Amino acid sequence: MTKMLVGKVTDIDIKGSRIVRVGDHEIALFRLSDGEVLAVENKCPHKGGALSEGMVCGSKVHCPLHDWRIDLHTGVVQEPDHGHVVTYEVEVDQSNGSIYLTERSL
């Protein structure tokens, strides 16, 4: 995946999320309380719960189905559970608030 414009920072409330589609992929964008924007695939590795509907605590999202905690920086599921989700490199253009994504390698 090449660098792709997916929206503006103002499209996402503080502590909120937004879903974007890139091809067949559904990606959840999160705006943390400090304003940082992070992006992961919108599917928990356990039962496929929509992470965009989960509660964010710090830089982790809790899956709304079974409360699995996933680190939004790394995509790694926190113990005692295990697994990972695809993360996306986020770039925010400070001059206009545009959000760009690039898929990270695992």
**Domain residue spans in the chain?**
4-103
pLDDT band of 105, cuts 50, 70, 90: very low
Strand 60-62 and strand 69-71: the pairing is antiparallel
pLDDT tens column, 49-101: 899 999 999 999 999 989 899 999 999 999 999 999 999 999 999 999 999 99
pTM confidence score:
0.88
- Residue pair 9/99 in contact by the 8 Å Cβ criterion: yes
- Residue pair 51/85 in contact by the 8 Å Cβ criterion: yes
User: 4-103: CATH homologous superfamily?
Assistant: Rieske [2Fe-2S] iron-sulphur domain (2.102.10.10)
Q: How many helices (H) and strands (E) does the chain have?
A: 0, 9
